[in-house]
Amino acid sequence: MRRTHRDTLLLIALCLSFAPSAVADPIKLRLTFVGDLMVHELLFQTASYQDIYRGVADVLAASDLTFANLEFPVDSTRPVSGYPLFNAHTDYVRAAVEAGVDVLSAANNHAFDGREEGVLQTVRSLASLANVFPHRFFFSGIRGNPRSPFVPQTIVVNGVRIGFIALAQFLNQSDGGRYVHVVDYVDQEDADEFVRFVKEASPFYDLFVVSYHGDREYVAEPDPAKRAFFHRLVENGAHIVFAHHPHVLQEYELVTVQGQKRLIMYSMGNFISGMAWRESPPDPDGWIAPTGDSIMLTVEVVMGAGGPSISRAAPVPIADYRNPQGEMVVLKLDDLAGGKAGASPAWVSYYRARRSRMEKFLAPQSQAAPPEVRTAARPE
């Protein structure tokens, strides 16, 4: 999709003062990033959607903001449905928000599964949740009016102004770029234009976060072209790039730009899904196994006079677990591997094996934080 962004920048300038908000004293924000929030048929059988997240609620509650990818339309006027054309009702999303998921990327290959009406209903559903949870719930990546530009969502946490913009590489059912924000990183002109947009839009904010949905599914190594695109984004104003779509975990890295640490997450895998229902204890290395575990990445961002810098990125390993009631829930992988979740000995052995496969992702990448850092309060 070809686009001009002059009008978009003008709109941002009209909505915000040009200069980012002043950060007088160092402030530390705690942000958590998780992967895909899915709606396979198995998940609809859960007696209480709130139960899905109880095993990780403490991590979510301790964060100022938690970001996730919403991989389905939300249209309560139509029946719920799983793969290949996803749809959920508002109560399913509300359970995630109540658990502590604050920011959703709605741009992904399934965003147009319900066609135009599905997007319009999703916008209405998510806007209604934003009304229920004011100053606490946000989304980006879709629009109800094709004539309105895609602009970053503005999130203010303890005086820190965050710009958040979500986009996808492609759609399963193309909408011609009318309703879903699509930028294909392998299209050089498309990629160049978005990089220019980030460079010009990011100075309006204290912290700028880009969410990207793309690459190949079930591949553990990032596409080199995607890697290069993400590096261009952080070199041109993005402080954090948060990515998804492969349904398996890929690496994350801290990149130094102008003396400050910026963060790239190449793929956060699945947060909650039914993809791993075929997992089997004797086969911890089967092709489906990596779709059933991932990490929650807790990120500390120090807001100082020189701008934001990532002081720490700490992974919390998680896994989707089918409990004795047959419901899929997300739990900490250490609890499962340590036998604390009530899994059978065979499954404990399986999760220990999966935990060992994840070691390369689990060494926290850190940089010493400056003294006298004040922790921001969670938005009301």
Identify the pLDDT of residue 185. Answer: 98
Residue 231: both structure tokens together: 């590096």
End-to-end CA distance of the chain: 37
Q: Are 92 and 46 in contact (CB under 8 A)?
A: no
At residue 360, the pLDDT reads: 84
E-state strands within 177-235: 207-213
Kindly give the parts of the chain with pLDDT less than 70.
1-25, 364-380
Q: Give the pLDDT score at 24.
A: 57
Question: Would 245 be classed as within a structural domain?
Answer: yes
Tell me what pLDDT residue 169 has.
97
pLDDT of 197-212, one tens digit each?
Answer: 999 999 999 999 999 9
Pairing mode of beta strands 153-157, 160-168:
antiparallel
Give percent helix, percent strand, percent coil of the chain, each to the nearest 5.
30, 30, 40
Q: Which domain holds residue 61?
A: 6-373
Model pLDDT, residue 277: 87
Domain membership of residue 230 (yes or no) is yes
Distances (CA, A) of 196 to 3, 84, 108, 153, 326: 12, 35, 22, 18, 48
Per-residue burial over 218-247, b = 16 or more CB atoms within 10 Å of its CB, e = otherwise: eeeebbeebbebbbbbbebbbbbbbbbbbb
CATH assignment at residue 366: 3.60.21.10
Q: How far apart are CA 277 and CA 265, in angstroms?
A: 26
pLDDT for position 295? 97
Give the integer Cα–Cα distance in Å for 329 and 272. Answer: 7
CA 96/CA 370 separation, integer angstroms: 34
Domain count, the chain: 1
What tokens were used for 159? 């005086």
Q: Is residue 378 part of a domain?
A: no
Q: What is the pTM of this model?
A: 0.92
Dihedral pair phi/psi, residue 293, rounded to 5°: -140, 155
Asked, for residue 40, whether it belongs to a domain, the answer is yes
What are the two backbone dihedrals, phi and then psi, of residue 109, each rounded to the nearest 5 degrees?
-65, -20
What is the model's pLDDT at position 370?
Answer: 33
Which pLDDT belongs to residue 26? 80
pLDDT, residue 265, reads 98
Q: What is the pLDDT of residue 362?
A: 84
Whether 22 maps to a domain, the answer reads yes
In a domain, 155, yes or no: yes
Rg (Cα) of the chain, in Å, rounded?
Answer: 20
The answer to whether the CB of 231 falls within 8 A of the CB of 243 is no
The answer for residues whose C-beta is within 8 angstroms of residue 187's C-beta and 6 or more apart is none
Q: Is residue 380 part of a domain?
A: no
User: What pLDDT, on the 0 to 100 scale, is given for residue 305?
Assistant: 81
Whether residue 81 lies inside any domain: the answer is yes
- In tens, the pLDDT along 140-185 reads 999 999 999 999 999 999 889 999 999 999 999 888 779 999 999 9
